[in-house]
Amino acid sequence: MSWPLTASGMSWAWICVGCSNPQSRIPLQRSLESPRSPNVVLESNISFMMSLPRFDSVSCGRSYSNRVERHGTVTFQPIQPYRGICSTEPMHGTSTLQIDLDAITHNVGQLRALCAPGVRFCAVLKADAYGLGATGVMSTLKQAGSSMFAVFSPTEACELAGFDMPILILMPVMAEDIPIELIEKLTAGSIHFVIHDTSQMESLDSLGRRLGIGLPVHLKIDTGLHRGGCSPRDAVIMVRAIQRSSALELAGLMTHFAQAASSEQVTSNQMRQLDAIVEHLSSELSPETIIHAAGTCGALRGGDYQADMIRIGLAWSGHLTNAAGDLGDRLAEPLQPAVTWRSRLVLTRMIGIGDRVGYGGDWVAERPTRLGLIPVGYANGYPIDAATPEDGGPGLAVDLVLDDGATAMSVPVIGRVSMDQLMVDLTEVPEEMGVGTPVDLISSRPGSPCQLSSISKRLGRSPHSILVQINSRVERVYVHGGNQWQAHTDSRPQVEIPSTNAVAG
């Protein structure tokens, strides 16, 4: 929060007049402004008189004076806000996506521990690191042991190209697809391309010749996924063509498993095809050529599939695909979910028996019901069918966070999710948990019904698809060692993590 000195030596602080003790104090961002919350009123020791509008007593149940006159001198004094019912803790927007960098470090360590010491770790950062913010997690992934990043497109590579790490572009890229700003980075040799067919190989070969450099490339071999890559029968010919080129450097041979989460037999068959090609070319391949096939589930299946490098996607954030089953049990310690999507209650109210909630009136109160409104909806990326899954069964729940921050009470989402808001049933919740109470839409707490894995299973869709739907207007906040910092709009890689006690400019 910025502290503009529009009136030198003067600031305002606010307290809830309905409480016996000050619950929060905040500086105003402009001199002579009205307070931004209906729960706060001008504190003493202000050197002028002003009028305040009369506010309705929504959360405290107290009435407020509409005119205040105080005299004295006030100086700036930052005070940490109380996280209770009258909290005015700043939340830019209506929710934040909190990413626990310590959990990411733990997860990378656990996955690397499955591998032999020489096996490399490639962190996949497609779709802006699955919506978590690639530039916000890159430093942590590198420090945890990642030696390469993978993205899908040249555009994604451009966003990360200022970071000193090799970047593997998975998409079939033709020379004309490469933005000019990325071409400027090619001479450093840190941008690697995946070759899928001969036309792409020829296009990149031509580009390398024009630039007078050798482009690092990985030849992808289609062993069963049938989503890209050359056929196994063409692989040897293409490898030799790349080896003959002065504009291409064979940096890797790769494939992609189709059913690593669910079928050992299919995965083993794919690996055998890759191994046969590598064996056939053993006398022609450089020792520096990286052989790689395994994503997360392939890596969890053991050393037979890990080759020289594993490519880890969402698992570095502590989540596995639903089909992984008990593969996660092969880790020495469980992965730690790194994602919390947090909002707050902004309104509570009572309705009677028979009252309907939301568009269409699909949810009907069967008892006097206390409702809570959360300012997040499907425009933010929250699942539109949260309360009404296709199978007709129970909907999702959210967690109301208790004062200690470590425990929570789960309450059901009711009625249709709207564009910018959703409703929950607070009838079983203590009355003091009202407006301002933190709410976790996605929780990292063990056993929570709104863990990403639980939401994924209940709705029958992958955790990846849920995360990437969270709108970019939801602020990303990175947490490390109890400190936190926010995503920067200039998208620069962030290495130093400032303390929350510092006043942000």
Q: Is 292 exposed, middle or buried (0-12, 13-18, 19+ CB in 10 A)?
A: buried
The neighbouring-strand residues paired with 291 are: 253
Residues 6+ apart with CB under 8 A from 78: 3, 27, 503
Q: What is the DSSP string of 276-310?
A: HHHHHTTTTS-TTPEEE---HHHHHT-GGGTTTEE
Beta strands in 272-396 (DSSP E): 290-292, 309-312, 339-344, 347-351, 356-357, 363-364, 369-374
Q: Cα(82)–Cα(477) distance, rounded to whole angstroms?
A: 19
Distances (CA, A) of 466 to 66, 264, 386, 462, 463: 46, 27, 12, 7, 5
Please answer whether residues 110 and 467 qualify as being in contact, where contact means their C-beta atoms are separated by less than 8 angstroms.
no
Q: Which of 323, 322, 339, 449 is nearest to 395 (CA)?
A: 449
| Catalytic residue from among 126, 130, 220, 382 | 126
Q: Cα(344)–Cα(376) distance, rounded to whole angstroms?
A: 9
Q: Cα(276)–Cα(77) distance, rounded to whole angstroms?
A: 69
Q: Cα(480)–Cα(136) distance, rounded to whole angstroms?
A: 11
Which two three-digit tokens encode residue 417? 């999710």
Active site residue 220: no
CA 390 vs. chain centroid, Å, equals 26
| Catalytic residue from among 64, 130, 142, 359 | 359
Q: Cα(141)–Cα(158) distance, rounded to whole angstroms?
A: 18
The neighbouring-strand residues paired with 401 are: 408
Residue with tokens 């090619």: 186
Q: Which of 482, 389, 500, 374 is nearest to 438 (CA)?
A: 374
Beta strands in 367-454 (DSSP E): 369-374, 397-401, 408-414, 422-425, 438-442
Please answer whether residues 271 and 278 qualify as being in contact, where contact means their C-beta atoms are separated by less than 8 angstroms.
no
Which two three-digit tokens encode residue 427? 């009838």
Q: Cα(296)–Cα(335) distance, rounded to whole angstroms?
A: 12
Active site residue 126: yes
Helix (H, G, I), strand (E, B) or coil at 351: strand
Residues 6+ apart with CB under 8 A from 412: 387, 394, 395, 396, 397, 424, 425
Residues 6+ apart with CB under 8 A from 282: none
Q: Which residues are catalytic?
A: 126, 359
